[in-house]
Amino acid sequence: MDNSILIHIAKASLSLMLFYIIYKMLLSKDTFFNFRRIFFLFAIFASVVYPFILFEIPESIQYAASQNVAAFTVSLLENPADFSNDIRSSFSFIDFLFLISIIGSAFLLLQFFIHLIMIVRLYRNNDVIKKDNFYLIKVDKSFISPFSFFNFIFINMHDNPDSQERIIMHELTHVRQCHSLDILMMEIICIAFWWNPFVWLLKKEMKINLEYLADKSVLNEGYDKKDYQYLLLENSIKNTGIYIVNNFNVSQLKKRINMMNKKRSSCFVSVRYLLAIPLFTLLLLFNNVHASDYLDIISESHSLQDSQPEYSGGQEAMWKFMAQNIRYPQIAVEQGITGIVKVSYDINEDGTVSNIKPVQKLDENCDKEVMRVVGMMPKWQPAEVNGKKVKSGKESSVKFMLTDKDGNKIDAASNEDSDIVVVGYK
Model confidence, pTM: 0.61
Report the residue count for the chain.
426
- CATH number at 402 reads 3.30.1150
Residue 107 has pLDDT above 90, yes or no: yes
Q: 79 and 139: one domain?
A: yes
146, 244 Cβ separation under 8 angstroms: no
Question: Between the ranges 50-64, 141-155, 193-207, where is the mean pLDDT highest?
Answer: 193-207
Residue 304 in any domain: the answer is no
For a pLDDT cut of 90, what percent of the chain falls above it? 34
Output the pLDDT for position 292. Answer: 36
Q: 256 and 372: one domain?
A: no
Which of 288, 306, 335 represents a domain boundary (last residue)?
A: 288
Distance in angstroms (rounded) separating the CA atoms of residues 421 and 328: 10
Summarize the confidence of residues 83-110 as an average pLDDT: 73
DSSP 176-224: HTTHHHHHHHHHHHHHHTTT-HHHHHHHHHHHHHHHHHHHHHHHHTT--
Q: 22 and 114: one domain?
A: yes
Output the pLDDT for position 76. Answer: 38
Q: Show the CA angle centred on residue 152, arms to residues 146 and 157, nearest 5°.
A: 40
Q: CA separation (Å) from 322 to 299, 319, 356?
A: 32, 5, 15
Residue 259 in any domain: the answer is yes
Q: 417 and 336: one domain?
A: yes
DSSP H/E element including 10: helix 3-22
Give the pLDDT band of residue 7 (cuts 50, 70, 90): confident
Give the pLDDT band of residue 391 (cuts 50, 70, 90): confident
Distance in angstroms (rounded) separating the CA atoms of residues 190 and 108: 8
Domain that holds residue 82: 3-288
What is the maximal distance between C-alpha atoms in the chain? Answer: 108
Exposure string for 187-216, b = 16+ CB within 10 A, e = fewer: bebbbbbbebebbbbbbebbbbbbbbbbbe
Residue 42 in any domain: the answer is yes
33, 213 Cβ separation under 8 angstroms: yes
Residue 303 in any domain: the answer is no
Q: Compute how many other C-beta atoms are within 10 angstroms of the C-beta atom of residue 137.
A: 21
Summarize the confidence of residues 383-392 as an average pLDDT: 81
Q: 260 and 319: one domain?
A: no
- Partnered with residue 246 across adjacent β-strands are 148
- 69 vs 213: which has the higher pLDDT: 213
- Say how many domains are in the chain: 2
Summarize the confidence of residues 407-425 as an average pLDDT: 70
Q: 48 and 98: one domain?
A: yes
Q: 175 and 27: one domain?
A: yes
Bin 404: left if φ > 0, else alpha if -120 < ψ < 50, else beta.
Answer: beta
Summarize the confidence of residues 141-146 as an average pLDDT: 72
Distance in angstroms (rounded) separating the CA atoms of residues 124 and 269: 47
Lowest-pLDDT choice from 119-128, 158-167, 329-338:
158-167
Q: 120 and 249: one domain?
A: yes
With H, G, I as helix, E, B as strand and everything else as coil, classify residue 56: coil
Distance in angstroms (rounded) separating the CA atoms of residues 153 and 175: 8
Q: 239 and 353: one domain?
A: no
Distance in angstroms (rounded) separating the CA atoms of residues 217 and 174: 10
DSSP 59-100: HHHHHHHHHHHHHHHGGG-S-HHHHHHHHHHTHHHHHHHHHH
Output the pLDDT for position 411. Answer: 66
Output the pLDDT for position 54. Answer: 73
Give the pLDDT band of residue 425 (cuts 50, 70, 90): confident
Give the pLDDT band of residue 268 (cuts 50, 70, 90): confident
Output the pLDDT for position 304. Answer: 46
Q: 253 and 383: one domain?
A: no
Residue 301 in any domain: the answer is no
Residues sharing a CB contact under 8 Å with residue 171, sequence separation 6 or more, in sequence order: 146, 147, 148, 153, 155, 214, 246, 248
Q: 284 and 321: one domain?
A: no
Q: 248 and 339: one domain?
A: no
Q: Are strands 246-247 and 147-149 parallel, antiparallel or unpaired?
A: antiparallel
Residue 371, φ and ψ in degrees, nearest 5: -65, -35
Chain centroid, CA 323 distance in Å: 45
With H, G, I as helix, E, B as strand and everything else as coil, classify residue 167: helix
pLDDT in tens, 216-248: 998 888 888 888 888 887 776 666 666 677 766
Which of 288, 307, 325 represents a domain boundary (last residue)?
A: 288
Residue 22 has pLDDT above 60, yes or no: yes
Q: What is the identity of the amino acid at 418?
A: S
DSSP H/E element including 40: helix 33-49
Q: What is the identity of the amino acid at 398?
A: V
Q: Are strands 127-130 and 135-139 parallel, antiparallel or unpaired?
A: antiparallel
Q: CA separation (Å) from 275 to 18, 26, 235, 349?
A: 11, 10, 38, 43
Distance in angstroms (rounded) separating the CA atoms of residues 383 and 3: 14
User: How high does pLDDT run on average in the chain?
Assistant: 80
pLDDT in tens, 197-219: 999 999 999 999 999 999 999 88
Distance in angstroms (rounded) separating the CA atoms of residues 130 and 207: 27
Summarize the confidence of residues 3-13 as an average pLDDT: 80
With H, G, I as helix, E, B as strand and everything else as coil, classify residue 131: coil
Residue 293 has pLDDT above 60, yes or no: no
Residue 330 in any domain: the answer is yes
pLDDT in tens, 311-362: 888 888 888 888 888 888 989 888 888 888 899 999 998 989 999 999 888 8
Lowest-pLDDT choice from 71-80, 129-138, 359-368:
71-80
Residue 308 has pLDDT above 50, yes or no: yes
Q: How many DSSP H helices and E strands does the chain contain?
A: 14, 12
Distance in angstroms (rounded) separating the CA atoms of residues 104 and 289: 33
Residue 308 in any domain: the answer is no
